[in-house]
Amino acid sequence: MLAILKNRTYRHLFLAQVVALVGTGLATVALGLLAFELAEADAGAVLGTALAIKMIAYVTVAPIASAFAERVPRRAMLVALDLVRAAVAVLLPFVTEIWQVYVLIFVLQSASAAFTPTFQATIPDILPDEQEYTRALSLSRLAYDLESVVSPMLAAALLAFISFHNLFAGTVIGFLISAALVVSVVLPSPKPSQPRGIYDRTTRGTRIYLATPRLRGLLAINLAVASAGALVIVNTVVYVQAAFGLDNRATALALTAFGGGSMVAALGLPKLLEVVPDRTAMLAGASVLSVGTLAAGALPDYGWLLLLWFVLGLGYSTAQTPSGRLLRRSANPEDRPALFAAQFALSHACWLIAYPLAGWAGAALGLPLGAIILAALAGAAVGISIAVWPADDPEIVEHRHDELPPDHPHLARAGRPHHHAHAYVIDDMHLTWPRKR
């Protein structure tokens, strides 16, 4: 897996991702503790609202940013967005009112909504080989898990000596180092094959996404992931400190258990995906999330919470890590930034549903009933994914073009009039998915 780090460009981008995520992880822990300081027992509702605002920024900003990104060099765009995020993080330690949390979270996450899809769409262009890209996805998943493992561990250690407000300094440092690493490499910036209007550029990724059966299945899996993930992210501090009466370090350890399970799954996925189809692995992971979220409705003590959070971490990584492979398979290179932006926006629309549901249901109805509601949502999402994502999902699809003349260049290798087969994606020549005959 680590052999792909020999690629200098990818190595620098991966390190940029790692340091930014460690800093973001420190901010996540600090934000949860800040919410508890400002609202105490209602911390889940406050954090749920703050994270819902984050999702609103992701859903609305990502498609718009992708439409304009093609006019700006990728490196310049990524560096500028890192600097914006660092500037906002500087202000977080000085928050004294709940509304200030909401405003800063929106600004910070709007920058992230432009940064992340552009970053993700760059990796397939740097690593065109399928196996290398799969390893990169697993490394990327491990990097994200640093936010759940290393950051809480580091936060727990630092909290023994400093106030949690000082954890935000790590966020600033992470974004600045990330910007420096991006500056150090040259990034490809593929251009669209033809000029497009702003509406077409803004909606193109979403239209490709919703017209592709495997991606409709992915969207349902995103909802299962969000349902279980929201339970962990929003209500861990409430379970640990309000229900079990423990401290900040116990909260950080619980988040570490979740991230540890996710890392274990990510390490094993490259080998697993060589023998198991993406669909099978992702549905298995989503099913684990559904059952595990239901079990959270009957947690007896902190020890069982640690074990269940580890299992949820396993399902979390298994369900979502292969998604990059699906996206890469489902678009031409020039459409990948738009498709990654669509995945970013639509997946976070699922979090926009799950975050406030986890926060407000937990606060108003109690943690057990809140977990049951989220488990029902995750279970329904798994069922929808099974229904809309065919088990037989070949990359090369035979199809026909009745609208084209037989001598059209696109049909040059057709074996029969108007018929041919190739790796099928939604584009200007293929506006809908062919029906099975």
Show me where the domains of the chain are located. Answer: 2-388
Q: In which region does residue 194 sit, left (phi positive, over 0), alpha (psi from -120 to 50) or beta (all else)? A: beta
Q: What is the mean pLDDT of the chain?
A: 82
User: Looking at domain 2-388, which of 3.40.50.620, 1.20.58.2030, 1.20.1250.20, 3.40.50.970 is its CATH number?
Assistant: 1.20.1250.20
Residues whose CB is less than 8 angstroms from the CB of residue 225 and which lie 6 or more positions away in sequence, other chains included: 286, 289, 316, 319, 320, 347, 350
Could you report the per-residue pLDDT of 394-426, keeping only the tens digit for each? 877 777 777 777 777 776 665 566 677 777 788
Residue 423: φ, ψ to 5° = -60, 115
Looking at residue 192, its pLDDT comes to 55
Q: How many CB atoms lie within 10 A of CB 404?
A: 14
Q: Is the pLDDT of residue 172 over 70?
A: yes
Calculate mean pLDDT across residues 262-289: 91
- The more confident residue out of 327 and 423 is 327
What pLDDT does 41 receive?
Answer: 61
- HSE on the CB side for 327, CA within 13 Å? 31
Confidence of residue 284 (pLDDT cuts 50, 70, 90): very high
Q: How confident is the model at residue 171 (pLDDT cuts 50, 70, 90)?
A: confident
Are 239 and 326 spatial neighbours (Cβ–Cβ below 8 Å)?
A: no
Q: pLDDT tier at 190 (50, 70, 90 boundaries)? A: low
- CA-closest candidate to residue 259, choices 77, 50, 22, 433: 22
Q: pLDDT digit string (tens) for 350-368? A: 988 888 899 888 888 899 9
Q: Which of 161, 248, 227 is nearest to 359 (CA)?
A: 227
